[in-house]
Amino acid sequence: MDLKSSARAVRENAHAPYSNFKVGAALRSISGAVYVGCNVENVAYPEGTCAEAGAIAAMIAAGDREIAEAYIVADSPEPVPPCGGCRQKLAEFAESSVPVTLATVDGAEFQTTVGDLLPGAFDAGHMERR
């Protein structure tokens, strides 16, 4: 299955009883495997966990460590970028040049990269002492 179809399908599984804002994400790792995630809200944390975080967790659980491409879809008027936390998570597991497609359920798409989503990303190099 391609990333677009995978993200759209998993979006239907989102648990969003508070916001009614379902998001689906699909990642292709450098191994070629596709991992999916959807947002999950709960009463204690109504903003929930993000779709991108779920897909990254699935990738890590399967033993992959590097993202080659990402696709994120939501039912919004315009494509919606990931939250700040998910931008950092994407930057942790993807090169800055990795393509990211942001999409709506109506078919609008915006092409960007991990680096454009999070310029100046914090990484392990910032913790090195000289």
Q: Is 13 annotated as a binding residue?
A: no
Tell me what pLDDT residue 124 has.
73
Annotated ligand binding at 69? The verdict is no
- According to the annotation, is 66 in a ligand binding site? no
For residue 126, the model assigns a pLDDT of 77
Kind of pairing between the strands at 67-74 and 40-42: unpaired
pLDDT one digit per residue (tens) for the chain, 130 residues: 799 999 999 999 999 999 899 999 999 999 999 999 999 998 777 667 889 999 999 999 999 999 999 999 999 999 999 988 899 999 999 999 999 999 999 999 999 999 999 987 777 777 787 6
DSSP 124: G
Determine the structural domain holding residue 76 and report its residue range. 3-127
CATH number reported for the structural domain that contains residue 23 in this entry: 3.40.140.10
Q: Is 42 annotated as a binding residue?
A: yes
38 is in an annotated binding site: no
Report yes or no on whether pTM surpasses 0.75. Answer: yes
69 noted as active-site residue: no
Domains: count for the chain: 1
CA atoms within a 13 Å half-sphere pointing along the CA-CB vector of 5: 3
Contact 58/79 with Cβ under 8 angstroms?
Answer: no
| Both structure tokens of 89 | 């998570």
Tokens, residue 56: 């990254």
C-alpha 85/C-alpha 6 separation (Å) is 22
Catalytic residue among 12, 47, 52, 78: 52
